Structure 1
Amino acid sequence: MRVKSLWIKMAVAGLLAVLAEFAVTYVLLSLLSLPLWLLAVGLPVFWLVQWLASPYLISRGAVEVTNDPTYGELARMVKEISEASHIRPPRVYVTDDPFPNAFAFGNLLSGRGVAVTRPLLEILNRDELYAVLAHEVGHARHFDMEIMLALGLIPSALGSIGGFLLYTGQALLWAALDETALFLGLAMLAVGLALTATTIFIQIFVLWFNRLRESYADMHAARLLGPNAVNLARALAKIQIYMSNVRVDPFKGIVLTVPPMRIKESNPDELLAKWIKEGVSPLADIMSTHPHPAKRVKAILSWVKSSQ
C-alpha cells in the first residue's frame, strides 16, 4: 500500500464515516423534533468530557517507569524513536495486563503516553520491541487518539443508549405485571435494537478508518526502521501465537494489537510464511479495530522491500 493510496483511502473512509454520522444524527433529531443546534452544542461538550477523561480511563492500572532503572532501556527507546519522529517523547508506562499489548493514549493537556504490558516485554527481543514502539509513537505523531475519539463519539453514545434500552426492556418484560409494562418493554427493545443496528452501520465506516490509521502507524515504523521493520512483522506473529491461548473479555473494551484467533503454528517464522501466502477476504476484519494480521504483514514486508 503506497502513501498516496493510503491517504486516499483514509480520506474516503473518514468522509463516509462523518457523512454516516451526520445522516443518522439528523434523522434521529428530526424524529425527536429537536433542533440541529443541539447537536452543535452537545457534541463538543461530550467530546470535551471524553477528551479530558479518556487518558485516565485508558491508563488505569498503568505505572509510569521513566525513573525506574529496570525499564530505563524502554524509556530510552521511546525517546530515541520520538526524536527521530520529531515529536516530544511520550511518557512510558508498563501495565500488568495478562496478554502482550501496546497502546498510545493521552492528549495535549494530560500529556501523551505509550504503555506496554509485561508479557509483551517478556516475549519480544529488543529489535521487535523497538519496532512495536515505533508503531505506537506513530499514533502519537499522527494525533490518532484525538481523531478516533472525535470520530467515535456518536457511535459510542448511540451504542450506550441502545445497550441500556435493550437491557431495561428485557428487565421490564421479565417483570411485567400489566399491559403497560409489557408495551413499554417491547418499545424499549425495538428502539434499542434500532439504535444498535444504527451503531453497527456507522461503525463499519469508523472501524475502516481506524484500520487505515493502524496501517499509517505501521508505515511510520517502516519509514523509520527501513529493512529492520521486518521486526514489526515478527512481533505481530509472536503476539498472535501468545494470544491464541488467551481468553479476552470482549465487554471490557480492550483494544488489542492483534485479535485473538485460532492458529496451529507455534513458530513465528512459520506463521509469517503462512500469512504471506494467505489470501484474506476484504470482509475478514470489517468489524475489527486493526487490519487482519496477514494484511498488515504483507504491507509491512512490501514497505521493507521498497526501502532496500
Structure 2
Amino acid sequence: MNYFRTALLLAALTGFFLVVGYLLGGQSGLVIALVVALGMNLFAYWNSDKMVLRMSNAQEVGPNEAPELYGIVQGLAQRAGLPMPRVYIINEEQPNAFATGRDPEHAAVAATTGLLRYLSREEITGVMAHELSHVRHRDTLIMTIAATLSGAIGMLASFGGLMGGGRDSEGRPLVNPIVAIAAMILAPLAATLVQMAISRSREYEADRMGAEISGQPQWLASALAKLHAGTQQIPNQVAEANPATAHLYIANPLSSGGLASLFSTHPPMEERIARLEAMTGHGYGMAPAMSPNGPWASAPQSSRRGPWG
C-alpha cells in the first residue's frame, strides 16, 4: 500500500508539473514542461548522490579512518543482504545522518561528527539501519525525484508568472491572467505538500524496516529522541546553506518551528518514537537481534550523551 501511495503521489507531482506548463504556455508549454521534467530527472538519477555529498562537504572514510562506523555499516549491510555502501562523515556538530544513491549498488551513507560523538554504539546502529532501509527500498531515488519535480514546479511557476504566460498567434493570452497567477501561487504549495507526503510515508517505513534490520526498535527510538533534542539546539550550517537536502536527513536539520513545522518533510518525532516503542517486545527483526559488540565490532561500546541528555 505504501508503494502504491508513493507511486500515486509521484504521478500527482508529474501531473502538477505538466498542468502548470500547459496553463502558462499552452500546448508548447506542456511539451517544454515534459522535456524539462525528463531532463531534470535523468540528471538527478545519475548525479544526485555526488551533488548531495559535495554540498554537504562529506568526506569518504574506510575501516582505517572510522573503524567503528564502518564496522557498524558493514555488519548491517551483511545482515540486510545489501552491497556495502560507501561511508562518509560530515564535519557538523549537529547529530544527524542521511543516505543517498540511485540504487543499492551505488549507495552511500553519511553521518555527522555530532552523531558519532553524542550517540551510543547501539543508537548509531539503529540510525544506520534506518538509512540502509532507505537504500533497500530505493527511497533516496524516490525522494530525489520528488524534490526535483517539486523544485521544478516552483521554478516553472515563477518563470511563467514573470513572463506572463503563453500567447496565441494574435498576441492574446492563452489563459486568464487570474488563472496564471493562481497557478503561480498554488502549484508550488501543492507540490510541497505532495513532496512532504512522500517523504513522511517513506520515513515511517524506514523506521519500521530499520528496526527489523537491527532487531532492536528501542535503539532507533532512543536515537531519535537524542536527534530531536540535538537538532533543536545545534544548528546545521551545511543544511541551512543547502535546504534542498534537508528531506534526506533522518531528522529535520533546519532550525525552523511554528508554522514552518507544518510543512516539514519529516513526520512528528513523537509519533515516530511511539511507533518504534510499540514494536519493542513483539519479536521484530530479520534474525536474532544484532549485538553492538558482534564479531565485526572494532571499538568498545560507549554511552555518549549530548548536552541535552
Change (3 A) 1:196 1:66: farther
1:297 corresponds to 2:273: yes
* Aligned match for 1:216, one of 183, 186, 205: 205
Q: How many residues align?
A: 262
Counterpart in the other structure of 1:101:
96
Shift of 1:261: 7.1
Counterpart in the other structure of 1:88:
83
Change (3 A) 1:24 1:40: closer
Any idea what the Cα deviations from partners look like across 1:69-125, whole Å, max 9, x if unmatched? 241121111111111111101111101123111000122598210000001000001
* Aligned match for 1:202, one of 191, 205, 209: 191
1:33 corresponds to 2:21: no
Structure 1 alignment gaps of length 5 or more = 1-7, 170-187, 264-282
- Distance in 1 (alpha carbons) for counterparts of 2:280 and 2:255: 26
Q: Which has the higher contact order (CA 8 A, sep 6+)?
A: 2
Counterpart in the other structure of 1:258:
251
- Distance in 2 (alpha carbons) for counterparts of 1:37 and 1:302: 49
Any idea what the Cα deviations from partners look like across 1:150-207, whole Å, max 9, x if unmatched? 23332111223456788x89xxxxxxxxxxxxxxxxxx9x968743431111221221
- Distance in 1 (alpha carbons) for counterparts of 2:185 and 2:86: 37
- Distance in 1 (alpha carbons) for counterparts of 2:105 and 2:116: 25
1:66 corresponds to 2:55: no
Change (3 A) 1:113 1:196: farther
SS in 2 for 1:28: helix
SS in 2 for 1:32: helix
- Distance in 2 (alpha carbons) for counterparts of 1:14 and 1:305: 33
Please tell me whether the aligned partners of residues 102 and 116 of structure 1 are also in contact (alpha carbons under 8 angstroms): yes
Counterpart in the other structure of 1:177:
none
Change (3 A) 1:46 1:140: same
Structure 2 alignment gaps of length 5 or more = 164-176, 285-309
Counterpart in the other structure of 2:121:
126
- Distance in 2 (alpha carbons) for counterparts of 1:109 and 1:295: 28
Counterpart in the other structure of 1:55:
49
